[in-house]
Amino acid sequence: MTYSKTIDQDRRAKRNVMVLVAAQAILGAQMSLHFVLGGLAGQMLASNPCYATLPITMTVFGSMVSAPILSGIMQRHGRRVGFLIGATGGATGASIAALALWIGSFPLFCLGGFLIGIYMSAQAFYRFAATDTASPSFMPKAISWVMAGGLVAAILGPQLVKITNDMFAVPFIGAYFAIIALNLGGAWMFFFLDIPKPEKPHKDAPKGRSRMQLLRTPKIAVAMICAMVTYSLMNLVMTSTPLAVVGCGYGTDASADVVMGHVLAMFIPSFFTGHLIARFGAEKIVTIGLVILGTAGVVALGGFELERFYIVLILLGIGWNFGFIGATSMLSTAHTPEERGRVQGMNDFAVFGMVTLASFASGGLMNCSGGTPQEGWTAVNLAMIPFLVLAGGALIWFALNHRKTA
Measured in whole angstroms, the distance separating CA 343 from the mean position of its chain's CA atoms is 17
**SS3 state of residue 127:** helix
Cβ atoms within 10 Å of 47's Cβ, excluding its own: 6
pTM: 0.76
In three-state secondary structure terms, 402 is helix
Q: Is the dihedral of CA 231, 232, 234, 240 positive or negative?
A: positive
pLDDT at 1: 47
Confidence of residue 312 (pLDDT cuts 50, 70, 90): very high
> What are the structural domains of the chain?
11-190+209-405 (1.20.1250.20)
What single DSSP character describes residue 192?
A: G
What is the crossing angle of helices 3-26 and 173-186, to 10°? 150
CB within 8 Å of 173: residues ≥ 6 apart: 98, 101, 102
pLDDT, residue 271, reads 79
Q: State the pLDDT at residue 194.
A: 87
In angstroms, the CA 305 to CA 307 distance is: 5
- CB 247 within 8 Å of CB 358: no
Kindly list the distances between the CA atom of residue 206 and the CA atoms of 74, 136, 153, in Å, as whole numbers in the listed order. 19, 21, 40
| Count of H-run helices and E-run strands, the chain | 18, 0
pLDDT, tens digit (0-9, with 9 covering 90-100), for 315-372: 999 999 999 989 988 988 887 777 877 887 788 788 888 888 888 888 889 888 777 9
Q: Hey, CA dihedral for 212, 345, 385, 393, is it positive or negative?
A: positive
**61-77 burial: b if 16+ Cβ within 10 Å, else e:** bbbbbbbbebbebbbee
* 190-218 pLDDT, tens digit each: 999 988 877 766 666 666 777 788 888 88
Residue 89 has pLDDT above 90, yes or no: yes
User: What pLDDT does 304 receive?
Assistant: 93
Cα(first)–Cα(last) distance of the chain, in Å?
Answer: 26
Amino acid sitting at position 366: M
Q: What percent of the chain has pLDDT over 90?
A: 45
Confidence of residue 135 (pLDDT cuts 50, 70, 90): confident
Q: What does the pLDDT look like over 48-78, one tens digit per residue?
A: 888 888 998 899 899 888 888 898 899 888 8
Report the mean per-residue pLDDT for the chain.
88
User: What pLDDT shows up at residue 233?
Assistant: 95
With CA atoms as reference, report the closest residue to 133 among 121, 146, 122, 120: 146
Residues 54 and 39: their CA atoms lie apart, in Å, by 8
> Left (φ > 0), alpha (ψ -120 to 50) or beta: where does 104 sit?
left
pLDDT, position 81: 94
- 128: which residues sit within 8 A by CB, 6+ positions away? 328, 332, 340, 344
Q: Is the pLDDT of residue 6 over 60?
A: no
| Beta carbons of 25 and 152 less than 8 angstroms apart | yes
CA atoms within 13 A on the CB side of 221: 17
Residues 393 and 210: beta-carbon distance below 8 Å: no
Q: In this model, does residue 147 exceed pLDDT 90?
A: no
Say how far apart CA 229 and CA 351 lie, in whole Å.
8
Report pLDDT for 361: 87
Show Cβ contacts of residue 405 under 8 Å, excluding neighbours closer than 6 positions: none
Q: How far apart are CA 64 and CA 81, in angstroms?
A: 18
Q: What is the mean pLDDT of residues 218-234?
A: 93
Buried/exposed code over 81-94 (b: 16+ C-beta within 10 A; e: otherwise) = ebbebbbbbbbbbb
What is Dmax (Cα atoms) for the chain?
Answer: 65
**d(Cα 167, Cα 273) in Å, to the nearest integer?**
39
